[in-house]
Structure 1
Amino acid sequence: MSTMECRSLEITVASAKGLKKVKHLSKMDVYVTVKLSGDPAYTGQLEHRTHVAKDGGTSPTWSNSAFTFTIREALANANRLVITFKITCDRSNKDIGEAHVPVRDLLDHVGADKAGQRYITYKVKKPNGKPRGEINFFYRFGGQMTRTGGAGGFAVHAPPLPTHNPAPYPWPRAPALAQLLPSWGSFSYHGCSPSPPPSYSYHTVAPPHMPPAGYPTVARPMGYQAEGPPAGYPPVDPPQVPPVVYPPRGAYGF
């Protein structure tokens, strides 16, 4: 990859004058194809076309015909870039003539500041050199920009994507203490019903509160992780702590 100094070049086709009339046609409907050549690394849009000037005859005009190219100044100053204007008759699909404009001539014509729009006229000729009229167009250069060139052409440096933070990972669910204790039916009481007393209820206390009166201090439930969330997840403040469930205290101290 290598960086290159580039500029944008805007071409606006305005009109043509004194075109050679196509034989056997009473009316001439013509259009202009504008093409940039000379840069083998550029893979963008190299060719544009104006609309057809209906009944324009030998002096057609065009509107809304502004086209933009990206040029490398090093190639332009080396006189390797050329803008070609080809005028074609739409009725017969016959080429009337072409004008070949070196980009270096356009750079020299605007001066050192390379600013502002210019109007210029070039001769239209056949490939054998015979004159076929004139073409008039406006052009302007944009400011300098740096691009990276590779095997696939130019690529503009894209801005970095915004950093995405993953959603907080849920804390592991700790098993309730009641799930770790034997069930009521696993105890044998002489003459006592295995069913819980009528005042059976659960008291839910979340750390760091103390357990109800008469209960010993209960350690944190198995599965609780106090060292933080898994790797790659942001810390959660305050920590999400699962509640501790205390079983009812019966008449026999269980």
Structure 2
Amino acid sequence: MDRKWIKLTSISGRGVRSFSLLFLKPSLYAVVSVNGLQKQTTSPDPTGGENPVWFNPVRLDLDGVDAPDQDLVLEFDLMASGSLLIGGDWLVGKVSVPVGDLLTEGGDGSVRHVSYQVTAPDGKPNGVLSFSYKFNLPPLPRGMDLAVTSPPPAAYYPPPEATSAFYPPPPPVAVGYYPPTQTPGHVAYYPPIPPEDVACYPPLPPPVDPAACCYPPPPAVRDPYSYLPENWDRRSYR
């Protein structure tokens, strides 16, 4: 039967101090486990510096831990190799990584590379731990993926015919807020436009008669001889 496991490779540290009082450079190694179980230890880094590299691949069986995936924690204990003169090996840092976070990125079985901060025993930062990982996830039984990924629609959404009883029904569409136009069944929002034969301004005044003037007409020019008697003889005045 195929099992679920995680494989770690390219485990390394950067800036991890060992806090040695004798100014020594002890070799560092890592103890890897899941929820404190299935502990596996890498070989000590031969350089003895603050940037250890461990080439040992680590494989942990996730089915061997009686806990759901969201409760699994991948734990790293970074240890310094010491002698009996200084009290043996001691802890220089810890890293705890939720397995659920790793599944979010690498649940498709691809190789992923991540980095996490190392915490010293006094709670202060002590460098960075990096590693690559890959999951082996057995396929789900036939029909199990459909049962999990395709729940019945009615379990999460109300039926389509359900109506709300907390609000009154909307008003009829035919109701308008302004008087309607001449077109029946049309909702108008502004008054209708006046017909074209209706003028928007008063009619123009009739044309002014040129004979009519604002001043009285001049007196008629009369013949100067019109004042003489009718039987006068114009030759007698010559």
TM-score by length of 2: 0.50
Alignment TM-score, normalising by the size of structure 1: 0.47
More helix by share: 2
Give the structure with the larger strand fraction.
Answer: 1
Q: Mark the structure with the bigger radius of gyration.
A: 2
Higher relative contact order (CA 8 A, sep 6+): 1
